[in-house]
Chain A
Amino acid sequence: DSGVTQTPKHLITATGQRVTLRCSPRSGDLSVYWYQQSLDQGLQFLIQYYNGEERAKGNILERFSAQQFPDLHSELNLSSLELGDSALYFCASSGRQGSSEKLFFGSGTQLSVL
């Protein structure tokens, strides 16, 4: 168990809808990262938050947004969903002293857009 909690594990929705994915980082970690992994694809970095503030942005669509709350949990909001948004979405955390570069991944949320 990595200590990173993601909910829900599975999400099935329709095109045009909006969903929210939730992530709780490891205790002591200040950074939360979101990655998208499409079928048989690599890990596409979406966005990073550090202690409540956006730190870095990757290939995140304008339809997607994220935030990190004072208790350090994070939410990824996906709106106007398209079929191509179906993917496994991972949250990862890091930042504990001495291991800020090591990513600890949650179990992921499998999103299916029908």
Chain B
Amino acid sequence: GENVEQHPSTLSVQEGDSAVIKCTYSDSASNYFPWYKQELGKRPQLIIDIRSNVGEKKDQRIAVTLNKTAKHFSLHITETQPEDSAVYFCAASRGSSASKIIFGSGTRLSIRP
């Protein structure tokens, strides 16, 4: 069945450095790729998303890139800050309903002071 693999499962970076989280998906019909951030004890929140007709999208310090050929997409966080510490989930879906969203297993990002 459809699958989304996410790497790494844990990531520790020095404050101010960049962090990259990578995901691959199996369903070639996937056309929507959101990223959710879940702070400790809080709910997941959508931070950025990209559609299959776009190769890259930026929002301040975060960016997402998509390689449809390789079925691979990544989250890039630059100039990391303590408040970036959280679990990040990638996801892929097709169609117009969120019920077809497949989540990755999550990456726990820790920012070292």
Residues of B within 8 A of A (CB): 32, 34, 36, 42-46, 49, 89, 93, 96-101, 103-106
Interface of A is mostly: strand
Q: Is the CB of B44 within 8 A of A101?
A: no
Per the CB 8 Å criterion, the residue count for chain A at the interface is 22
Query: In whole Å, how far is B25's beta carbon from the nearest beta carbon of chain A?
Result: 15
Total CB contacts across the A-B interface at under 8 A: 61
- The docked-state distance in angstroms from the alpha carbon of A48 to that of B93 is 15
- The docked-state distance in angstroms from the alpha carbon of A4 to that of B100 is 20
Q: Is the CB of A90 within 8 A of B43?
A: yes
Which of A64-72, A76-84, A105-113 binds B?
A105-113
Q: Is the CB of B89 within 8 A of A100?
A: no
Given A100-B96, A100-B98, A101-B93, 20 other A-B residues pairs in contact with their CB atoms under 8 A: A2-B43, A33-B99, A42-B89, A42-B105, A42-B106, A43-B44, A45-B99, A45-B101, A45-B103, A48-B97, A90-B43, A101-B34, A101-B49, A101-B98, A102-B34, A102-B49, A103-B98, A104-B46, A105-B45, A108-B43
